[in-house]
């Protein structure tokens, strides 16, 4: 099972590396587009990286509803692991 801390650490690392976002800005309340400056391409890439890292599938309709870091954390901490 994926934990909140694992998801936050991954997002903080990715956003700092890819966009230069300070890790302390990546909070559960942070809006992905407004606060963290992610555009639609960034969001698609983020979903793909999350799927790879945590071995889950994020349906397009669910991904489209993820507006905050908290939304991402909630999904990943409750999603069943993908079977390979």
Check 39, 42, 60, 71 and give the catalytic one.
39
How far is residue 60's CA from residue 75's CA, in Å, rounded to a whole number? Answer: 13
| Nearest to 8, CA basis, from 66, 50, 61 | 50
Report CA torsion sign: 17, 18, 19, 24: negative
Q: Is 39 marked active-site?
A: yes
Query: What positions carry a catalytic annotation?
Result: 39
């Amino acid at each position: 099972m994926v934990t909140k801390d694992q998801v936050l650490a991954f997002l903080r690392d990715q956003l700092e590396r890819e966009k230069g976002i300070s890790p302390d800005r990546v909070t559960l309340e942070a809006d992905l587009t407004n606060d963290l400056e992610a555009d639609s391409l960034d969001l698609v890439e983020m979903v793909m990286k999350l799927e790879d890292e945590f071995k889950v599938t994020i349906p397009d309709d669910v991904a489209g509803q993820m507006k905050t870091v908290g939304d991402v954390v909630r999904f990943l901490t409750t999603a069943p692991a993908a079977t390979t």
